Amino acid sequence: MPDPGQTRPVLNRILWPLVIVIVFADQWSKAYFVWLLGSHQHESFTAFLSEYFTLLSSENMRAVSETYGTLVSNSHAVFKPLIWVWEPWIAWNLTTNTGAAWSLFTGNSFYLSFVSLAMALLLFYVWWRRFRTHLGMTWALGAIIGGALGNFIDRFRLREVVDFIDVKIPWIGRLFPNLGDPYDFPIFNVADSCAVCGTLALALYLVLADLSSVRRRRREQAAGRVKPFQEGLGLDEAAAKRLKEMTANQPRFNGTDLTKFLNDGEEE
């Protein structure tokens, strides 16, 4: 079995670069599609970057948009038409969201930014306490943490989240007609993608761990290595007979006798 002190630095070198790469890719891609599909006067993406990353709030963005038309929904900027990647299923389609997924809690982006930050800190604590030597969980939790921090930056800095990946899903509308066919999935971004992939990986790990525990327990039962009373407080007939014999000549049966009886049973 490897020494945890030796494996821990390796996983630290995986977690933090993974989080940094996700945050960088998320922020860079958002800036690029705002430049590509937003209405502004910047011909150079490099020049646009300096303007985009100096924005600190929706109020600042409104002032800047009067000159550059940079963003966003509350600055009344006009977005360019979507660009098809794979018609009619995938397109680049710029939009913003002041709430959470599926536009829940719309208008509370600033408060939701602290939820994103708290989630990232909580997941880091869970990783550090339980999974810092586990490779698969490091990847899964790192993806979720990176996604949470990517959207935290948008919510705190811009008061809304930039989305640009528009996907339509076939066949779902046939099962749920109210959703439409094809189903127009809510527009998302890189941070959302990483968080969802990490969550699915986490769920898969938990399911596999539970199945592994069930198989191990069945093997122990088949090999006769199951500990006494592991299934609960139920006693077999031999145990019941022994208990009856012990209490036959005693007016009272106290806790000490019961403890001694259970300990004797385990030793046998």
Among 163, 181, 184, 236, the one annotated catalytic: 163
pLDDT tens track for 61-89: 444 444 333 445 444 457 889 999 999 99
Decide if 192 is catalytic: yes
Q: In 107-118, which positions are buried (b, 16+ CB within 10 angstroms) versus exposed (e)?
A: eebeebbebbbe
Whether 262 shows a pLDDT value over 90: the answer reads no
pLDDT tens track for 147-205: 999 999 999 888 889 999 999 998 887 888 888 888 889 999 999 999 999 999 999 99
Among 184, 192, 210, 257, the one annotated catalytic: 192
Decide if 181 is catalytic: no
pLDDT, mean over the chain? 80
pLDDT on residue 69: 37
Q: What angle do CA 114, 196, 141 make, to 5 degrees?
A: 70
pLDDT on residue 244: 74
Mean pLDDT of all residues in 20-26: 98
Mean pLDDT of all residues in 243-248: 73
Mean pLDDT of all residues in 113-132: 93
Q: In 7-25, which positions are buried (b, 16+ CB within 10 angstroms) versus exposed (e)?
A: eeeebeeebeebbeebbeb
